[in-house]
Amino acid sequence: MAKVEAEKAKAEAPFFLAAKEALDESHKLESAIGIGVTYQKYNEQLIVFATKVDNLNRAARDTGFSHNQNAEKLCHELREARDDYHSAMGWWDAKNEHPDYADKYPSLYAEVENKLQSDWSDAAKDICEADRLFRKLKE
């Protein structure tokens, strides 16, 4: 029995490692946003996070975890967070392309800022749920 459990744990290890790495990167990005991050650094960290999410999805397929409901939800939540962060980058692009809008069109500028903040907030919620699912899978 112990041998079967050890073999199962060994087979599952790549999924759990990929999930931990993706979650760690998501928290790094969240922290950077919380303390203030430059656009360039945000873009670089988003690329790393997106890569970790892709690695997780591959690991889920390769280990059979893509058929586990909680693992599938975990992958989904991290893809959603990645997409929210990417959407936020688009709003940030708009602010950078039209810095004069703050003075010329304050309501439009405020709307863009609200959408940027909303995307970041949505990503944080996705990550919180992904953390919960990861803990549940490890039980």
Ranges of H-type helices in 36-68: 39-63
Q: Over the chain, what is the mean pLDDT?
A: 91
According to the model, what pLDDT value does residue 7 have? 61
Residues 6+ apart with CB under 8 A from 116: 88, 91, 92, 95
Q: CA-CA-CA-CA torsion for 5, 132, 134, 28, nearest 10 degrees?
A: -150
Domain boundaries, the chain: 2-138
Confidence of residue 6 (pLDDT cuts 50, 70, 90): low
Torsions phi, psi for 99 (to 5 deg): -65, -25
According to the model, what pLDDT value does residue 4 have? 56
Of all residues in the chain, what percent carry a pLDDT higher than 70? 92
Of all residues in the chain, what percent carry a pLDDT higher than 90? 73
Please provide the CATH number assigned to the domain covering 2-138: 1.20.120
According to the model, what pLDDT value does residue 36 have? 93
Count of beta carbons in the 10 Å neighbourhood of residue 40 = 8
How many Å is the maximal CA-CA distance in the chain? 71
Over residues 80-125, the pLDDT tens digits come to 999 999 999 999 998 888 888 778 888 888 899 999 999 999 999 9
Overall average pLDDT of the 7-24 stretch = 84
* pLDDT above 80 (res 10): no
Reduced to 3 states, what is the DSSP secondary structure of residue 38? coil
Tokens for 20?
């931990």
Residues 6+ apart with CB under 8 A from 136: 70
0.75 surpassed by pTM: yes
Confidence of residue 136 (pLDDT cuts 50, 70, 90): very high
